[in-house]
Structure 1
Amino acid sequence: MIAAICLEDRNGLLFNGRRLSRDRAQQEDLMTVCGAGRLWISPFSAPLFAPWQERLVVAEDFLCRAGPGAVCFVEDRPLLPVLDRLEALIVYRWNRTYPADVYLDLDPAAEGFVLEQQSEFSGTSHPCITREIYRRGGGYGKT
């Protein structure tokens, strides 16, 4: 399974039960990353991806149900409980500091993930979004 997450500068995910931000260009980028595959998400995230409704798998237990290679967009739950199933992480960085009270619960490097790719693009609400792809035991420049 591949987890995609959006983080502010201190690795915050949520504040007071709400997402910190959202960006249409980030959503489009993630759907491009998914290719012809489906995106697995929670009901909390489903409204963000309404234009791609036919490509979504929406379920409370989506992290338990998603199989190898499945891309899961995670905003409202921890990743440590599914760490043994994580093949890769796609991290979108807002490059801003927002108030947060829920943070990413793992350190990719400490868990054996290696930065494979990093790129930047202009968002619709953020001037610069950084996308980082980490793979378990991978290496920079490998595919």
Structure 2
Amino acid sequence: MASSASCATTPGTGRRSRHWPTCRTRVEQVRAAGLPVDLSVTGEPRHLPLLRELAAYRVVREALTNVVKHAPPDSPTSVTLTRETKALQVVVSNRGETAPREDGGRGLIGMRERLAAVGGTLSAGPVEDGWRVEARIPA
């Protein structure tokens, strides 16, 4: 596991800021609340523009919130950030039966809109053993 995530630095500086939300901090908060969640970061660190950094953080935040709301309380969850040459891939997945809201909620819609605004994409839905959210954000 790398020491920082693309969405774990102050945008434009490459340095951590106590005022800027981080993917790592969000994972730690959710873990402290009792959800077994792992964070994996691969690839070379690279700067993303401010709005893309924030979009990555917001995907992680919303996806983890959805796990807390809709999955079993002990659902093993993983957050994977993969830094590629031309994109950042964010994957949040959990195991166990997940019960999304019947009315669809606004979380997935908001993530899609936020990612579209920065040229990114989102796929989300049930998988064989749980639920998966995957975002690609151009570098």
Tell whether the structures are fold-level matches, with TM greater than 0.5.
Answer: no
TM-score (norm 1): 0.28
More helix per residue: 1 or 2? 2
- Which one has a larger percent strand, Structure 1 or Structure 2? 1
